[in-house]
Each structure stands twice: as C-alpha cells, then as structure tokens.
Amino acid sequence: MTEVVIFLEDIDPVVFLGTNNSLLDKIRSFFPKIKILSRGNEIKCIGEENEITLFAEKFNDLIEYYRKYNRLDEQDIEKYFLDADHMKSASNGDFEQILIFGTSGKPIRARTINQLRLVNDYRKNDLIIAEGPAGTGKTYTSIALAVKALKEREVKKIVLTRPAVEAGERLGFLPGDMKEKLDPYLQPLYDALHDMLPYKKLETWLEDGTVQIAPLAFMRGRTLENAFVILDEAQNATVNQLKMFLTRMGVCSKFVMTGDSTQIDLNRKTDSGLLQAMRILTGIEGVSVIKFDERDIIRHKLVKKIVKAYEEEEKTTTNSNNNKPE
C-alpha cells in the first residue's frame, strides 16, 4: 500500500472541497479503490501505487484548474475526470477566451468542449448545425457569438428565429394579438439577449431592426445579407421550411441552426427538416455539424440525469419494438 499527502497551498479547503466535503465526495466516487481523507489543507490518500499515481496526477491538475478559473463545482469535476478532451482544452487555456461581457459584467465564454468547437468552427464556416439535448448552451453560445460579431461590426444585424410549433398547446387559444401570441415562443431568445445587452441598447436595436426576432414563417421571401442568423428549435422546422430558411443566406452572412432531435413536436418526427439537413449537409465545405451531448449540459445537475434517463428509455423502447415478431 502507498500513502501520499497532497497540500492545498493558498487554497480555501472549504471552497475547493465543498461544504461538508461535498466536492471531495464527488472526487472519491471516481476512485473507489483509494481511501481519501482530508484534514485542514491536507489530503491524504492510501491505496495501490498505480491508483495513487493516477489520483495524484488528476487531483493536482484539478488544483491548477481551480487556480486558473477560480471556480469548481460538481459539473467541473465530472468533465475533468471523465472527458479527456475537456481536460486538455482546459489545461491549454482554451476556455479563457471571453466572447463578450454580459450586462452584469460577467464574462461569457465557451464552457464545454462542444461550445468551444462551436466558437472555433464559426471562424471557419458560414453554416453551423448544432444538435443536442437541452441545457447544453447551443443557442446561448450562438447568440453570444452573434452579439460579438455585431459589436465588432462583422455583421450589420442579428436575426433570431424559431418555428411557432405548439408543444402540446394551441396557438389560437393564447390571448392577445398575433405578436402577443408569438412572443412566448420567442421569449428564450429575448432572455439570452437581455443577459448580454443593456436594456436600452437592446430596445434601440429592436426598434431600428439591428436585432430582429421573428417566427420562421416570416423569413420567407427575404435575402439576409451582412447578418448573423440563428434558427433555434430547428427540429420543429419541416423539410420545406428548413430549405426555405437555408436559401435565405446572402453574402457576408453567418447561419447557425440549433435543435434537439429528441424533442420534435411535429405530428410526424420524420417531417423534421433538421434530421434531413444533418444527413445531407454533413461533409459540405463551409458547413459544420456539431453533436452536443450530456457532457455539455450546464444547467442543474439533475438535467444531465434526466436526459440520460430518457435516452435509456428510448433505447429500451426501440430495442423492444425491433424485437417484436412480425
């Protein structure tokens, strides 16, 4: 048996290890064969030499991560211990690049490996398709890129759009005029913009058309030039709608489509234009297709578990249906 003591120098152990050692317990879960004890600023670990060596290496990397980014939570620990690409990007400082500063002064940057890929692919491609589960920051990161591009005068306007497809509710029964009926569908886009732009600036840009938010159907007949255009909830656009949207692309424009293929609200899932677009546009020069997954989820820690549970249920149902006798 080997025993090693790691010192947390100039680090508050309560912050680094969590209240009641909650974060240390998370770390312990990845090394069940090692006995890990904490006392003040000392972390003592006892176990087989190969296990201790691996633990010490990763634990010291985690200390460097904390010192560099001044943060640590359960999701950081999961990504750091489970995702080698994320560890490499973090150690290289790839996540340090700030896209913009939000209205509260909080820096907005890519926080996961696929968010970082979205940022990097944006520089090289004019069309990006980002598909994956809820909470992975697909739309939020895209809007941050759009605001950055507008502020740096890479584009003249931002256009945000969504298909007005009911998720169990009926549009006609909502109160108010057409704008009031449609605004609830577009509210997540407003919320993201309010995080990134001062209220008066956003209102001015909305009034003069610098920032435009509209349902997908309103895109027909337009040519969008010098614009950063984001289609959110693309899984609910039909094949014809998505073809219409993509052919709106004008010169000096960037198009981003985000969606979750597991949350299609169309009557027939096969009608989703996103599924077809991912199939036929992959491999075309100038087009980037990014698959987000549960590792990118940055909402409440339960969201990742919920997504995983639904994925497992869908696999079970699919396998059951495939095994049914004809």
Q: Where are the domains of the chain?
A: 2-91, 99-318
Work out the angle at residue 91's Cα, subtended by the Cα atoms of residues 85 and 92, and round it to the nearest 5 degrees: 90
Residues 257, 277 contacting (CB under 8 angstroms): yes
Tens-place pLDDT, residues 201-211: 999 999 999 99
Tens-place pLDDT, residues 36-90: 999 888 899 998 888 888 888 888 888 888 877 777 888 778 777 766 676 667 6
Indicate the pTM of the whole model. Answer: 0.70
Rounded-to-integer distance, Cα 52 and Cα 43, Å: 12
- Among 3.90.79.10, 3.40.50.300, 3.30.1370.10, 3.40.50.10860, what is the CATH number of 2-91? 3.30.1370.10
Rounded-to-integer distance, Cα 50 and Cα 230, Å: 49
Question: Is CATH 3.40.50.300 the right assignment for the domain spanning 99-318?
Answer: yes
